Amino acid sequence: MASYLYCVRSDAQQPEGVVGLDGAPVRSIDAGTLVAWVGDVADGSVDVTVERLRAHDAVCAAALTHGDTPLPIRFGQSFADDAALVRAVADREHALRERLARVSGCVELRVVVTRGRDVDVNEQTPAFATPDAIGSSASVDSADVDDEQQAEGPGTSFLRRLARAGRADLAREVACEEVRHSVRAAVGDLIIDQQRCEAMRGVAFFPVLVRRSDVDAFRAAAKNILPSQQIDLSVLGPFAPYSFSTDA
Amino acid sequence: MPGDVVDNAPLELADLINRVLDKGAVIAGSVTISVGDIDLIQLDLTLVLTAIETVRTAERRRREGGDR
């Protein structure tokens, strides 16, 4: 059996009744002056599955509910045994303590932009003239499709779809940056830290670190203050501070 | 854990993958990754994640070069 690491914390909060990957119970072990929440896995390599990702996240979420904010560990880190795990954690104790101090008393929220403003439907791109609506934010009325487009070949059609998808992505990213700056201007006093916008898998988002007591206020402010015309967004969380636990 | 009600399952999954698989503190160790239809690959966490083919090519070259 190998030892799998979920999170590191500065207090002695016990993982009572917490279950991790593949139903294995989570336990705590002392790692220098820190405490690690760990579990047993069958061998040193851990295959990624959605179920295991959820299990890992659930352990970190459980760790967040009691005591001070833990430092969530990236999925998939296992060690030959507890002794090896403790050595690895102890070797990085100073850096981990710094990060724990940084996130102490805080949680991560993620502002996710799922749709940016529609691009002008008459906008022309250099290579592809398209009167179609852009991206997923508006439906395309087949009656409006230009005769010329109906005659285009599959290659051109494919490239036109790429162009539309790319512009939808760009619209989301632009909107996300607008949202990020608007939030900072409006409720900057609630934000302990934030990261730049990222785009992934069809959405754009930015994470913020806020005090636990400010979660509701931030969520209300994000939805009420921001320019909302044609921008769809959600505020996800609170989560353990994954985005603020990595190397600077 | 209380939070926004998110009805969009793909959004929730994308967020989960980004947080748990792409973020979080890195200590040490190795991980074997199998996601969807992607074949298993073994990575050292100190390496930047690369395309599967790039990793396989690197592994082939190391075996052929005899260095380890």
CB of A231 closer than 8 Å to CB of A113: yes
Rounded mean pLDDT, A209-215: 96
Which of B5, B6, B15 best tests the A interface by mutation, with the highest count of A CBs <10 A?
A: B15
- Compute the distance between CA of residue A237 and CA of residue A208 in angstroms, rounded to an integer: 10
Average pLDDT over every residue of A113-121: 61
Q: Who has greater pLDDT, A202 or A60?
A: A60
Instruction: Give A145 or A57, the one with higher predicted confidence.
Output: A57
Three-state helix/strand/coil letters over B16-56: HHHHHHHCCECCCCEEEECCCCCCCEEEECCCCCCCHHHHH
Closest Cα of chain A to B14: distance in Å? Answer: 7
Mean pLDDT of A77-82: 91
Q: Which residue has the higher pLDDT, A66 or A108?
A: A108
Q: Is the peptide bond before A238 cis (omega within 30 degrees of 0)?
A: yes
Yes or no, beta carbons of A243 and B23 under 8 Å apart? yes
Q: Which residue has the higher pLDDT, A115 or A73?
A: A73
Partners of residue A46 in chain B, C-beta under 8 Å = 31-32
Residue with the bigger pLDDT between A67 and B10: it is: A67
Q: Name chain B contacts of A49, Cβ cutoff 8 Å.
A: 34
Compute the nearest-CA separation of A47 from chain B (Å). 5
pLDDT value of residue A127: 35
pTM of the complete model: 0.73
A67 burial (CB, 10 Å; 0-12 / 13-18 / 19+) is middle
pLDDT digits over A43-74, tens only? 777 888 888 999 999 999 999 998 999 999 99
Residue A26 has what DSSP assignment?
Answer: P
The domain spans of chain B are 28-68
Q: What is the pLDDT of residue A156?
A: 82
The B-side interface with A (CB below 8 A) comprises 1-4, 6, 8, 10-35, 40, 42, 45
The one-letter code for the residue type at B32 is T
pLDDT digits 0-9 by tens, A150-169: 567 888 887 777 777 778 77
CA of A221 vs chain B CAs: smallest distance (Å)? 14
Q: Contact at 8 Å (CB) between B24 and A75?
A: yes
**Which alpha helices (H) appear in A76-153, and where do they start and end?**
82-91, 93-103, 147-150
ipTM of the prediction greater than 0.85, yes or no: no
CB pairs under 8 A between A and B: 136
